[in-house]
Amino acid sequence: MGLEITPIGEVVEGRDDVADDFWGGIESVIQLDESEFPLDSVQGLGEFSHLVVVWHFDKASPADVEYHARSPRGNAQWPATGTFAHRNHRRPNQLAQSFPRLLKLDGLRLHVVDLDAVVGTKIYDVSPYFAEMGPQGSIREPAWPGEMLADYWKPKRN
């Protein structure tokens, strides 16, 4: 039997359009389920600068999932890499993690910046980011993620 989980909240304010780039500076609000969680479920969370938010690419179709190696964003200049070397909606469970900065708490409304999920996105988990739980040692990656994501956190153009 597989894991069954239900959303704990939803993105209710922020960016509406799905896009590959220009997510920098986007302010969003995550509304936690008020019928499920008491106010003290976020007690102490405001002391942290960043969150770990697990969400679902629910605007994508299960038909988008691809298990074979492919070039990121269809760009043949970047090497074909397998499903588990990607961080997009084509992954098996279409889950994502983001690390937004927490601006403030307003009851069960979490005001954040740099959350790369759109309004209406279902949220499955929220936790504080602990630096001690982040990567240990030096980080290694090929050149293509940096090239591909050069504009990812730039402010959205009007």
Per-residue pLDDT of the chain in tens (158 residues, 90 and over written 9): 788 999 999 999 998 988 776 678 899 999 999 999 999 999 999 999 999 999 998 888 888 888 889 888 888 898 898 888 888 888 888 899 999 999 999 999 999 999 999 999 999 999 999 999 999 999 999 998 888 888 888 997 76
CA angle 33, 55, 152 (to 5 degrees): 130
Residue 108 Ramachandran class (φ > 0 left, ψ -120 to 50 alpha, else beta):
alpha
Q: Which residue has the tokens 């069954």?
A: 4
List all residues 6 or more positions away from 16 whose beta carbon is below 8 Å from its beta carbon. 118, 119
Global pTM?
Answer: 0.89
Q: How far apart are CA 105 and CA 7, in angstroms?
A: 19
- Domains of the chain (ranges; CATH) run 9-148 (2.40.30.70)
What pLDDT is attached to residue 119?
97
φ, ψ for residue 50 (rounded to 5)? -135, 155
What pLDDT is attached to residue 144?
86
What pLDDT is attached to residue 66?
84
What pLDDT is attached to residue 22?
66
Provide the 10 A C-beta neighbour count for residue 83. Answer: 15
What pLDDT is attached to residue 158?
66
What pLDDT is attached to residue 147?
86
